[in-house]
A = this chain, B = another copy of it.
């Protein structure tokens, strides 16, 4: 393991809260660990990062985060193996993507070392917070937001980078029913859909709430122009199995380049599954569902891992997916989580040892 090049100021808690937490019954993203990392951008540069007790942030009411949504984030997990070792999964990808997102939102890019060394050091300190109950992990949330002030609609001159951690259980309780959305959209051509920018998520809440009221758990977004092609789900990329071929949309400026998505593509191909990366029409799903060739759909993302879809709603009709034995979803989920939890070889070199 490379040594840290970054100077990090560390202030530990006097007394850990860990004994107060019920690790056998963890929600998703609600319990925070003892410490957090914080790093300020001011005077044109990122300053020395600090690890401190998890604590409140005080901001001026004119901080631009409150007014202009200038924020980006990442979502990662730390996994504990049977020997108590702690692993990350492809953290480089998150490091790079954070900066891709930042650039689009006019946020200064964060030096790679601050991200990587800060992350590693924080997770080392929080290693006891990485849960071991099956399906659980330490969810890690790096994020950057505009703390500089001013009501002029222009980029801030100060930012804050944080990493917070939450020991978490599964994101979804079981299979997910989805609604294919034709009225509301998530992203514009030439917009910010490919960035993990805060505003992309707020815009999804209302249509998703409407879908939830109709008995679905998630919306499948379609392109905002024709609404003919499926794009992605709330915080997941979408895969479709027609006969034995796995289909997923190409990433674009409207679609997030998911780490799980690209890992799933690689694993599937290594397993001999034919994967086609191409636009998928809603009509294709409907007719494949009718003729029985639509075998599976699933979402893929760090938080939800691989989340099988039990059926979809479209134009007032519901289409159920068959119960599959030996589904691609369960195979791929086992393969990816075995790598993540150090239960299998790592032929792709994706695992990253933290401690």
**Which of B73, B152, B162 contacts A171 (CB under 8 A)?**
B152
B198 touches A69 (CB 8 A): yes
Choose from B28, B105, B155, B187 the contact partner of A152 (Cβ within 8 Å): B28
Is the Cβ of A59 less than 8 Å from the Cβ of B56?
Answer: yes
Which residues in chain A, 14-73, are within 8 Å of chain B measured between CB atoms? Answer: 28-30, 32, 36, 54-62, 65-71, 73
Docked complex Cα distance between A197 and B204 (Å): 12
Chain A residues 170 to 189 lying within 8 A of chain B, measured CB to CB, are 171, 181, 183-189
Binary B-proximity of A195-221 (CB < 8 A = 1, otherwise 0): 001111111111011000000000000
Q: Across the interface, which residues of B come within 8 angstroms of A105, CB to CB?
A: 202-203, 205-206
Cβ-defined partner of A153 (8 Å) among B58, B151, B201, B224? B201
B57 touches A59 (CB 8 A): yes
Known: A28-B151, A62-B32, A199-B200. A206 touches B106 (CB 8 A): yes
Q: What is the CA–CA distance of A234 and B36 in the complex, to the nearest angstrom?
A: 36
User: In the assembled complex, which residues on chain B have CB atoms less than 8 Å from the CB atom of A61?
Assistant: 32, 36, 54-57, 162, 164
Q: Is the CB of A155 within 8 A of B199?
A: no
Interface size class of A (residues with CB under 8 A): 35 or more
In the assembled complex, A143 has its CB within 8 A of some CB on chain B: yes
Answer whether residue A3 sits at the interface, using C-beta atoms and an 8 A cutoff. no
**Of A36, A183, A203, most B-chain CB atoms within 10 Å:** A203
What is the CB-to-nearest-CB distance from A20 to chain B, in angstroms, rounded to a whole number? 17
Complex partner residue of A151 from B66, B139, B186, B187, CB under 8 angstroms: B139
* Contact in complex: B29, A152 (CB < 8 Å): yes
Having A66-B143, A199-B199, one finds 10 other A-B pairs with CB under 8 Å, namely: A28-B151, A28-B152, A30-B149, A59-B59, A61-B164, A62-B166, A106-B209, A152-B171, A184-B191, A185-B188
> In whole angstroms, what is the CA distance A104 to B190 when docked?
21
Q: In the complex, A103 Cα to B190 Cα: how many Å?
A: 25
Q: Are A189 and B69 in contact (CB under 8 A)?
A: no
Partner of A67 from B71, B192, B205 at Cβ < 8 Å: B71
Q: How far is the CA of A67 from the CA of B30 in the complex (A)?
A: 13
- With contacts A151-B139, A224-B188, A224-B224 known, is A202 near B59, CB below 8 A? no
Contact indicator A69/B30 (Cβ below 8 Å):
no
Residues of chain B with a CB closer than 8 A to A29's CB? 62, 150-152
Closest to A190 in B: B185
Which residues from chain B contact A143 at a C-beta distance below 8 Å? 66-67
Q: Contacts A61-B57, A70-B202 given: A153-B225 contact, CB under 8 Å? A: no
Given A155-B205, A185-B188, A189-B225, verify A30-B71 contact (CB < 8 Å).
Answer: no
Q: Report the separation of the CA atoms of residues A45 and B206 in the bound assembly, to the nearest whole angstrom.
A: 19
Residues of chain B within 8 A (CB-CB) of A192 are: 199, 202-203
A69 touches B71 (CB 8 A): yes
A2, chain B: closest CB distance, angstroms: 28
Query: What is the CA–CA distance of A189 and B184 in the complex, to the nearest angstrom?
Result: 7
14 A-B residue pairs with CB within 8 Å: A36-B61, A58-B59, A62-B141, A65-B198, A69-B199, A69-B202, A103-B206, A105-B205, A151-B166, A154-B205, A155-B209, A184-B190, A191-B224, A225-B225
